Amino acid sequence: MKQQFMIGLMALGMAVLFSGCSYKINACKIENEGHPVSQTGNFYMVEGQADGMSISHGQNTKTRNLHGLQNAATLTLERGYKYFAIKFPQGEASNIDGSLINTAEEFIERCLPNPADILNMGRAKCGMPAGNRNIKLGIYVFNEEQPDVMTYNAQDVKDYLVANKLWRERGIDAYYEKCTIQLLRR
């Protein structure tokens, strides 16, 4: 009886651990990170988290990357801006490095695992590491489209994700006006 109780307690603890309830999704402002076409101070870090923990690393990566895009659009709109550009992770998704991806549909097509990759355990898409439960996106936010950098229209991203039932109720839990080393390393 005691052994069954201990197994049940361990199962409950694992369910809580992997449910995502105990992890806060954060966003914060990063100072002194100016882009040549913008004013210093409009650079943020947002997090995305896998929607639960599936045994499929591809599914975890998909929901995590979508959540990161959702939170980039959310932060942009909530801070009073209209457009955002991804800086990091560096790679195919980085608008600052020349990426031409600037819609939710293109992001989904190019930066999410496709059904054939669903069991993929290590290959990154668009420079976003596979297998991690959380992702951090560094984004610039703007009031206008930029002449030398492709930008996402934040409202269009939100509308597309909502219309295609990809928008999650849980978004950003906490905003910080200044990032800390601890927050950036988590």
DSSP per-residue letters across 38-64: S-TT-EEEEEEE-SS--S-HHHHHHHH
In this predicted structure, the answer to whether residue 78 has a pLDDT above a threshold of 60 is yes
Question: At which residue do the structure tokens 């999410």 appear?
Answer: 112
Q: What is the pLDDT of residue 88?
A: 83
Using one digit for the tens of pLDDT, what is the confidence trace for 62-76?
788 899 999 999 999
Where is pLDDT greater, at 115 or 87?
Answer: 87
At residue 85, what are phi and psi to the nearest 5 degrees?
-130, 140
Using one digit for the tens of pLDDT, what is the confidence trace for 91-116?
888 998 899 999 999 999 888 876 55
First-to-last alpha carbon distance for the chain, in angstroms, is 39
Q: What is the pLDDT of residue 42?
A: 85
Using one digit for the tens of pLDDT, what is the confidence trace for 1-60?
544 434 443 443 443 344 444 456 767 676 654 445 445 458 888 988 887 665 555 667
Q: CA-CA distance, 185 to 57, in Å (whole number)?
A: 22
Q: CA-CA distance, 53 to 32, in Å (whole number)?
A: 36
